[in-house]
Chain A
Amino acid sequence: MSTATHDHAHGHSHDGGHAHDDHAHDHKPYGMMRWLGSTNHKDIGTMYLWFSFTMFLVGGVMALIIRAELFQPGLQIVRPEFFNSMTTYHGLIMVFGAIMPAFVGFANWLIPMQIGAPDMAFPRMNNLSFWLLPPAAMLLIAAQFAPGGGAGVGWTMYAPLTTQAGPAMDLTIFAVHILGMSSIMGSINIITTILNMRAPGMTLMKMPLFCWTWLITAYLLVASMPVLAGAVTMTLTDRHFGTNFFNAAGGGDPVLYQHIFWFFGHPEVYIIAIPAFGVVSQVIPAFSRKPLFGYASMVYATASIAILSFMVWAHHMYTVGMPVEAQLYFMYATTLIAIPTGVKVFNWVATMWKGSLTFETPMLFALGFLFLFSLGGFTGLVLSIVPVDVQLHDTYYVVAHFHYVMVAGALFSAFAGIYFWLPKWTGRMYNETLGKWHFWLSLIFFNVTFFVQHFLGLAGMPRRVPDYALQFAEFNMISSIGAFGFGLSQLLFLYVVVKCITSGEKAEQKQWEGADSLEWTHLPSPAPYHSFVTPPALK
């Protein structure tokens, strides 16, 4: 039964234009099989988004355990080894389980609709790339219950600390392998879809910027994920099979691990940030009622950021003892990134300039992104200066910096995207008042949590410590209060989304006056199960 349905769906993606197939458009299996066997880009997109939200809550609970322990000096709630495990898996789950899948979910939902295609290029691979995620997530969670508890090695998994860790480390390595495979398959699918399945007339330079950002991100993923897989495989063989890649006593070098890891790790930062740029580049013009300023320069800036991201990895390792020449190079290269990033920010502001602005929830989150992501960019610039970084490296200043980029950057942009496209996805409107509440609560509590961490870092509080000296007590208490507020505000988000799906008012085809991509101009709300059965006619 389900096989037959797959073939139907599969057939559609290739010659969906046949009129005699029309009866099958909404023909899909019900119950579990619809989701387990789905090859539909919308169903898979939905699963990615729910998966990512679930992981966001799991990683969020871990963050709250961390902040609860840090509420006061002294050890009150958890043991140091469990604390280290929480910081490790909070990072891994948020990066690989929450943020990355969220944007793959957006890609699945939107790319076929925005380029005028019926579905993704490889629907079965699409299904597999999603269904690899839950087992990987289960491995990460199961690692907590391994003998000796989770691996308290940090999300960066530096050798040789990883050699000491218990069996949880092996589960984690296996999970990273699976997550990497999933990402690579997703990327191949996205690249193929964008390059081959655009409707006639949809040239590359006419694509909505969101598609461009994902095309570039997908290349970053294909290039960097195997590097991470290599790094963790070497860790695995060092642990069990007698190799000495990272062991000086056997002729290896612990710092080699860091070079390999960050050769993946820095592009990873942009793998998270670039799709976020894409979402914001759709939302800001829509609510400014004005086309995106400098479309071409946005494309070039994004590509420049992607290329530069492979050339700056060692700025994460300024204190490791590199030759001074290498430090100079990495400092100069790193500051260069500020230029294309600046161009993007200037373009977004110029898009708003002399527009006709309104401030619905998606726009509020996009502006929150713009403002706070830039702040994170500026602290990044401060950190790029080697002598200053020597003081700030591995302190809470860095923790504050990357949470401005990851949370106020990527997460706020994801919220903007969800509020923006919910009407298109569900055919129903969310509650605007509650959406605005969600924004303001998130904005305020985010800053309460993370702004003060800049001061902690400047004053000398190292990161990844379960306890701290007394002069850090006040700001830690504030930060913990903010974290709980931020965490609770996200339950409001869940409520708004569920309420929208179950009982929201009916949405119009073009819910937002200024939206101009194909999903708004050519498809009803909710969008049909197969996006474009015949390619849209484009001017």
Chain B
Amino acid sequence: MRNKLVKTISNTFAALTTAATAMSLMFPATAFAEYKLNLQIPNSALGHTIYDLHTIITWVCVVIFIVVFGFMFYAIFKHRKSVGHPASNFHEHFWVEVAWTIVPCIILLVMMVPATKALIQLRDTSEPDMTIKATGYQWKWGYDYIKGEGEGISFYSSLSTPRAQIEGTEKKGEHYLLETDTHVVVPVGKKIRMLVTAADVIHAWWVPALAVKQDAVPGFIRDTWFKATEPGIFRGQCAELCGKDHGFMPIVVEVKTAADYSKWVDSQKASMKKAAVADAPDKAWTLDELKARGEKVYAANCVACHQPTGMGNPPTFPALSGSKIVNGPKEEQLDRVLNGKAGTAMAPFKHLSDADLASVITYTRNSWANKTGEMVAPADVKAARAATK
């Protein structure tokens, strides 16, 4: 503990000294990797363009800063009363004023050239090799592979850091808060167009190393793109405040070689087929089967608000245990889960499959203090969906 503190303090001083002397932003990032003083090392051509643009602009600022405050510090040391400097009385100079209006104009004009080029490149989402849709939910991401190899793949991706690490009862892992149960897998060297939207409130899809950040606005679809230069795993986070667990909805992009990507697509397709068989509409479910599956669905979708105990965190997040709706007629609960409740944090969950919804509702109706003994079958969900349409 003490050693750690000493290390922290010495790191601080090292960091501050470097920072104060040169702002250190242009030094090769590797030399200072342990202090993380600069942007993450980019993994795309556009990322490198932005990285360099930032470096250039920062250096322009540093130079101007040193010149201007060089004058100020010169005056502070040489033109002080205590060294007997008498006060002059000049207070106007037309050409000086003109000069220091025009020179910054020119510097800015020059700076705008690379900035404009980079911006146009950044927004050019034309001719993608693949299109993936990312949907922000409170608090996880959903992905649908819309076009290109892997078309039709669809999954959710939630934080996989155990609660115990967050609460501090367990040692924090290497990728604490930056790890998810499923990864967005993409092939290397392909232009990936991301369609970004949200189901409830505004989120933002951000992966620093790939130089993408796009707000996810509910009801609208925006797009952005990236093209990874190297395979690897790249981690990001939601960047727009989206409520309670804003800090706990990371993004993990796994870039694979073309061959590995094809393998991943095949395995996904196979498991989707298996799931389709398992969830076949005519399948006869037992209460225990639904309950067991429901527990998993609950852990992935409901637990953040309604808590593992089903007690929620009233009044914002009401308890399910003993709830009138959960213990009442199943149609009402189906409606609440499918459509949410306007004006509250209860979002619609109609994006989940019939089997998932049926099992999670069955689970809540037969857990904690709730003992309805009732089963909600996927067919009931289907019927309820049809009714709301």
Q: Is A bound to B?
A: yes
User: Given the complex, which residues of A lie within 8 Å of B223, measured CB to CB?
Assistant: 321
Whether A64 is near chain B, meaning CB under 8 Å from some CB there, is no
Q: Of the candidates A288, A378, A462, A470, which one forms a contact with B239 in the assembled complex, judged by CB atoms under 8 Å apart?
A: A462
User: Is the C-beta of B383 less than 8 angstroms from some C-beta in chain A?
Assistant: no
Confirm or deny: A158 has a beta carbon within 8 angstroms of a beta carbon on chain B. yes
Chain B residue contacts of A478, Cβ below 8 A: 8, 12
Decide if A375 is an interface residue (CB 8 Å cutoff).
yes
Tell me whether A4 is interfacial, beta carbon within 8 Å.
no
Give the contact stretch, choosing among B146-154, B160-168, B185-193, B267-275.
B160-168
Binds B, one of A173-181, A249-257, A418-426: A249-257
Tell me, yes or no, whether B211 is within 8 Å of chain A by CB. yes
A468 close to chain B: CB less than 8 A: yes
Quick one: closest B residue to A320, CB to CB? B215
- Looking at the complex, which one of B72, B116, B245 makes contact with A80 (CB distance below 8 Å)? B245
Quote the shortest CB–CB distance from A319 to chain B (angstroms): 5
Contact pick for A84, options B105, B118, B204, B241, CB 8 Å: B241
Q: Complex formed: what's the CA distance from A451 to B344 in Å?
A: 39
Contacts of B36 in A (CB 8 A): 455, 458-459, 471-472, 475
A289–B219 CB distance below 8 A = no
Complex: how many Å from CA A23 to CA B332?
78
Give chain A nearest CB distance to B118 CB in angstroms: 4
A338 to B82, CA, bound (A): 35
- Supposing A293-B91, A385-B57, A387-B115 touch, asked if A451 and B202 sit within 8 A by C-beta, the answer is no
**CB of B6 closer than 8 Å to a CB of A:** no
Q: How far is the CA of A164 from the CA of B167 in the complex (A)?
A: 26
| Structural contact, A152 and B243, CB atoms closer than 8 A | yes
**Contact between A382 and B61, CB atoms less than 8 A apart:** yes
Q: Return the contact of B315 from the options A166, A321, A343, A358 (Cβ within 8 A).
A: A166
Interface size class of B (residues with CB under 8 A): 35 or more
The answer to whether the Cβ of A391 comes within 8 Å of any Cβ in the partner chain is: yes
Whole-angstrom CA separation of A470 from B177 in the bound complex: 9
Do B104 and A460 have beta carbons less than 8 Å apart? no
Cβ-defined contact, B206 with A462, below 8 A: yes
By beta carbon, the residue of chain B nearest A471 is: B36
> Per-residue 0/1 for A446-467: is the Cβ within 8 Å of any B Cβ (1 yes, 0 no)?
0000011001001110101111
Q: Chain A nearest CB: distance from B41 CB in Å?
A: 11
Q: Report A229-263 CB contacts with B as 1/0, cut-off 8 Å.
A: 00000000001000000011100011100000000
Are B108 and A393 in contact, with the CB atoms below 8 A?
no
**Contact among A294, A320, A351, A385 with B53 in the assembled complex (CB-CB below 8 Å):** A385
> Which residue of the partner chain A has the closest CB to B75?
A352
Residue of A nearest to B124 (CB): A324
By a CB distance below 8 angstroms, the chain A residues around B201 are 160-161, 164
Assess the B112–A353 pair: CB atoms within 8 A: no
Q: Are B8 and A474 in contact (CB under 8 A)?
A: yes
Q: Which residues in A have their C-beta under 8 angstroms from that of B101?
A: 339, 342-343
What does the 1/0 interface line of A367-390 toward B look like (CB < 8 Å)? 100110011001101100111101
Query: What is the CA–CA distance of A371 and B120 in the complex, to the nearest angstrom?
Result: 34
Let me know if A388 and B104 touch, CB within 8 A. no
Collect the chain A residues with CB atoms within 8 Å of residue B82's CB: 358
Beta-carbon contact of B91 and A292 below 8 Å: yes
In the complex, chain A residues 135-194 whose Cβ is within 8 Å of any chain B Cβ: 147-149, 152-154, 158, 160-161, 163-164, 166
Question: Does residue B218 face the partner (Cβ distance < 8 Å to A)?
Answer: yes
**Among listed A38-46, A71-79, A494-502, interface-contacting one:** A71-79
Whether the pair B87, A382 counts as a contact (CB closer than 8 A) is no
Contact B220 A354, beta carbon cutoff 8 Å:
no
Chain A hits for B222, CB < 8 A: 320-321
Q: Are B16 and A324 in contact (CB under 8 A)?
A: no
Residue B294 interfacial (CB < 8 Å): no
The listed residue (B121, B123, B244) touching A152 by CB distance below 8 A is B244
Residues of A near B58 (CB, < 8 A) are: 382
Query: Would you call A289 and B37 a contact (CB within 8 A)?
Result: no
Which chain B residues (60-119) contact chain A, with CB distance < 8 Å? 61, 64-65, 68-69, 71-72, 75-76, 79-82, 85-93, 96-97, 100-101, 104-105, 108, 111-112, 115-116, 118-119
Asked if A289 and B239 sit within 8 Å, CB to CB, the answer is no
Residues of B within 8 A of A472 (CB): 36
B242 within 8 A of A: yes
| Total chain A interface residues with beta-carbon distance under 8 A | 102
User: Once the chains bind, are A254 and B219 in contact (CB under 8 Å)?
Assistant: yes
Query: Does B263 sit at the interface, judged by CB under 8 A?
Result: no
B88 near A354: Cβ-Cβ < 8 Å: yes
- Considering the chains assembled together, what is the distance between the CA atoms of A336 and B109 in angstroms? 10
A356 within 8 A of B: yes
In angstroms, how far is the closest chain A Cβ from the Cβ of B374? 30
Does A290 belong to the interface (CB within 8 Å)? yes
Shortest beta-carbon distance, A20 to chain B, in Å?
43
| Inter-chain residue pair count (beta carbon < 8 A) | 304
8 Å CB contacts to A: which residues of B235-254? Answer: 235-248
Residues of A close to B235: CB separation below 8 A: 469
B45 CB-CB contact with A under 8 Å: no
Q: Are A390 and B87 in contact (CB under 8 A)?
A: no
Taken together as a complex, chains A and B put the C-alpha atoms of A81 and B241 apart, in Å, by: 11
Instruction: Name the segment of A49-57, A118-126, A325-333, A521-529 touching the other chain.
Output: A325-333
Whole-angstrom CA separation of A455 from B34 in the bound complex? 12
The interface bits of chain A over 338-361 (1 if a CB of B lies within 8 angstroms of the residue's CB, else 0) are 110011011001111111111100
A476 to B209, CA, bound (A): 21
Taking the closest CB of chain B, its distance from the CB of A296, in whole angstroms, is 8
Q: Closest residue to A75 on the B side, CB-wise?
A: B166
How far apart are the CA atoms of A464 and B246 in the complex, in Å? 8
Residues of A within 8 A of B206 (CB): 394, 462
Pick the contact of B204 from A345, A391, A394 — CB < 8 Å? A394
Q: A395 in the interface, Cβ–Cβ < 8 Å?
A: yes
Complex: how many Å from CA A382 to CA B54? 7
B172 at the binding interface (Cβ < 8 Å): yes
Assembled-state Cα–Cα distance A517/B136 (Å): 58
A148-B315, A319-B204, A321-B220 are known contacts. Are A462 and B247 too (CB-CB below 8 A)? yes
CA distance A384 to B79 in the complex (A): 36
Question: Which residues of B lie under 8 Å from residue A349 when comparing CB positions?
Answer: 68-69, 71-72, 75
| Complex contacts, B64 vs chain A, CB 8 Å | 378
A339 pairs with B105, CB closer than 8 A = yes
A447 (CB) vs chain B CBs: closest residue: B16
Verify B108–A161 contact, CB threshold 8 A.
no
A335 on the B face (CB < 8 A): yes
CA A73 – CA B88 in complex, angstroms?
55
What is the minimal beta-carbon distance from A67 to any residue of chain B, in angstroms?
15
CA–CA, A349 to B74, complex, Å?
10
Q: Is A399 an interface residue (CB 8 A)?
A: no
- Measured between alpha carbons, how far is A390 from B211 in the docked complex, in Å? 7
Q: Are B122 and A390 closer than 8 Å at their CB atoms?
A: yes
What are 24 of the A-B contact pairs (CB < 8 Å)? A75-B167, A81-B313, A81-B316, A161-B242, A163-B343, A253-B220, A255-B220, A290-B88, A320-B215, A328-B119, A331-B119, A339-B105, A342-B101, A354-B90, A356-B81, A357-B80, A382-B61, A385-B53, A390-B213, A394-B204, A459-B38, A469-B175, A471-B36, A474-B8
Which residues of B come within 8 Å of A, CB atoms? 8, 11-12, 15-16, 19, 25, 35-40, 49-50, 53-54, 57-58, 61, 64-65, 68-69, 71-72, 75-76, 79-82, 85-93, 96-97, 100-101, 104-105, 108, 111-112, 115-116, 118-123, 165-168, 172, 174-178, 196, 200-202, 204, 206, 208, 211-215, 217-220, 222-223, 235-248, 313, 315-316, 343-345
Query: 4 shortest A-B CB distances, which residue pairs?
Result: A248-B219, A465-B247, A321-B222, A356-B87
Beyond A386-B115, A387-B121, A455-B19, list 19 extra A-B contacts (CB 8 Å): A84-B244, A161-B243, A166-B315, A247-B219, A319-B213, A321-B196, A324-B123, A354-B87, A355-B79, A355-B87, A356-B80, A367-B76, A378-B65, A381-B61, A387-B53, A391-B211, A465-B246, A474-B12, A477-B8
